[in-house]
Structure 1
Amino acid sequence: MIPAREEIEQAKKEVEKYVKQRIKEFKNLKEKNLTTFDFRPFVDIQPYQADILSEASFCILTANSSAVMGIKIQKEVGIEGFKKYPFEKLFEVIRKKGHRFAAQRAERIIKLRDKEDFLIEISREDDGKKAREKLVKEIYGYGYKEASHFLRNIGFDDVAIIDRHISRFLFEKGLVKPRKTITKKVYLECEEALEKISADLGLTQAELDLYIFYIKTGKVLK
């Protein structure tokens, strides 16, 4: 029996309906380039719409930050804001929310606008791992984690998001050796461990990530 089974099965009992809801929201982005996110009761914020460019921007915002902060900024900027806000306005929104790297993130989001068609093309692919390689090569500010995060959030089921919550969970369970930094080699090692858990529990990588995030934070976000 895998060390994480009992915790994940308990998490499934507690929040399965929210995980299914989130997966449906992600699939809408892949299929329609539009979704409505509702993070209640985990975050006290009203539902809002996002498209693929908005979601790619969200994944830039959450790097070295938090999902909650990214959600709040994404809602305030809105779909049109990510497409049209000048640097100064975008910077000010991000800064007011308390982001430590407001100028850098605003710059990266503005660069991202030129890649909107590419991002939509990526959303139509079937293989998440191949799509990830293209994103890392093409998108400024995207490493494996950011690319995987974006793909999961637009409906891909076959890539893992190795952030501090997931890596710590794997370390604590003895599924991978503790590392100070997440290199590409370590990332893929962690992803392989998660694939084994997914297969054992009959979950997709996307579902498993949401359950582990819930175990570590008490929230089902994205």
Structure 2
Amino acid sequence: MSNDWGEWRVALDELVMDVISLTQRNEVRELVERRLQQFKTLGKEGSCDDIFSELSFCILTANFSAEKGIAIQKAIGVGFLMMTQQELEQALRKMGHRYPQKRAEFIVKNRPLSQEICRMVKKDGSGKTLRDWLCKNVYGFGLKEASHFLRNVGFSDVAIIDFHIIDLLAKYGLIEKPKSLTRKRYIEIEKILEAVAKRIGIGLDALDLYLWFMETGKVLK
């Protein structure tokens, strides 16, 4: 972060204005709103199988392409719950995943938690509290992966901090790129994103999609 508070505020204002300009583009805003509604519908109305599939997707996309993860999720379907670990590993390898063995292992180990995670998602609670529980109990989840999952099932109070977001914030001069993303640093960056979202009047879920669009030109999940 810049040592000059005034310069930092100017940088924050610049990012806020750039996101606001995106929210005023009808085609982008409609894409974001449609995606957010899909997330909320999944969390509230989706089956426990659907929610576990989304959890598995978020495990797959760690250090991997989101678009390829979406394609794998569609292809495997209920296999996240039904395939043997060996079958799942073979399917992931066939579809080009970078870490088929470890991801298959994580997904199979998480199956006993499926119903409990489903119940917790469907309660109206704090995303940050649930994120801490997920990080402690779900194989393959750190803060980023847990936040990604929670956003994708309708929570709006957690930030997904990946290299796209870090690069963007560094480009605006709001942070210096961290050598490693510790929990402390993750929370510090999340607070910056909370300040941006508050200024604009949107949730962290919407902000993430707008920032992703700024970096990639796409609104994925």
Aligned length: 207
Distance in 2, matches of 1:172 and 1:181, equals 18
Query: Is the 2:107–2:139 Cα contact (8 Å) retained in structure 1?
Result: no
Aligned to 2:36: 23
Q: Which of the numbers 41, 61, 83 marks the counterpart of 2:81? A: 83
- CA–CA separation in structure 2 for the residues paired with 1:196 and 1:150: 22
Q: What's the TM-score, normalizing by structure 1?
A: 0.89
* Number of the residue aligned with 1:128: 127
Q: Does structure 1 conserve the Cα–Cα contact (< 8 Å) formed by 2:72 and 2:92?
A: yes
Partner of 2:6: none
Take 1:19 and 1:34, find their aligned partners in 2: how far apart are those partners?
23
Q: 1:151 touches 1:159 (CA, 8 Å); kept in 2?
A: yes
Residue 113 (1) aligns with residue 111 (2)? yes
**Alpha-carbon offset, residue 34 of structure 1:** 4.5
SS in 1 for 2:59: helix
CA distance in 2 between partners of 1:16 and 1:158 (Å): 19
Higher helix share: 2
Deviations 1:71-93 (A, max 9, x none): 01100001x21110112221122
Mapping for residues 190-209 of structure 1, pairs under 5 Å:
190-209=189-208
Structure-2 residue corresponding to 1:45? none
The CA deviation at 1:177 is 2.4
Distance 1:175 1:129 in 2: 23
Letter in 2 for 1:156: F
| Same amino acid, percent of matched pairs | 43
Kindly state the Cα deviation for residue 122 of structure 1 after the two structures are TM-superposed.
Answer: 2.1
Structure 2 residue aligned with 1:94: 92
1:19-168 equivalent positions in 2, closer than 5 A: 19-34=32-47, 51-78=50-77, 80-123=78-121, 124-168=123-167
For residues 94 and 153 of structure 1, do their structure 2 counterparts lie closer, same or farther at Cα, with a shift above 3 Å needed? same
Q: How far did 1:121 drift?
A: 2.2
Distance 1:90 1:73 in 2: 11
1:7 matched to 2:6? The reply is no
* CA drift at 1:5: 2.4
For 2:183 and 2:124, how far apart are their aligned partners in 1? 22
RMSD: 1.5
> After TM superposition, which residue ranges in structure 1, 4 or more long, deviate above 3 angstroms?
none
Aligned partner of 1:128: which letter? G
Contiguous gaps of at least 5 residues in structure 2: 1-9
Larger Rg: 2
Q: 8 Å contact 1:176–1:189 — kept in the other structure?
A: no
What whole-Å deviation, never above 9, does each CA across 1:54-80 have from its counterpart, x for those lacking one? 0000000000101111101100001x2
Matched-pair contact (CA < 8 Å) for 1:87–1:110: yes
C-alpha distance in 1 between matches for 2:47 and 2:168: 32
Is the contact made by 2:89 and 2:101 (CA closer than 8 Å) also made in structure 1?
A: yes
The corresponding residue for 1:179 is: 178
CA shift for structure 1 position 94: 1.1
Amino acid aligned to 1:19: V
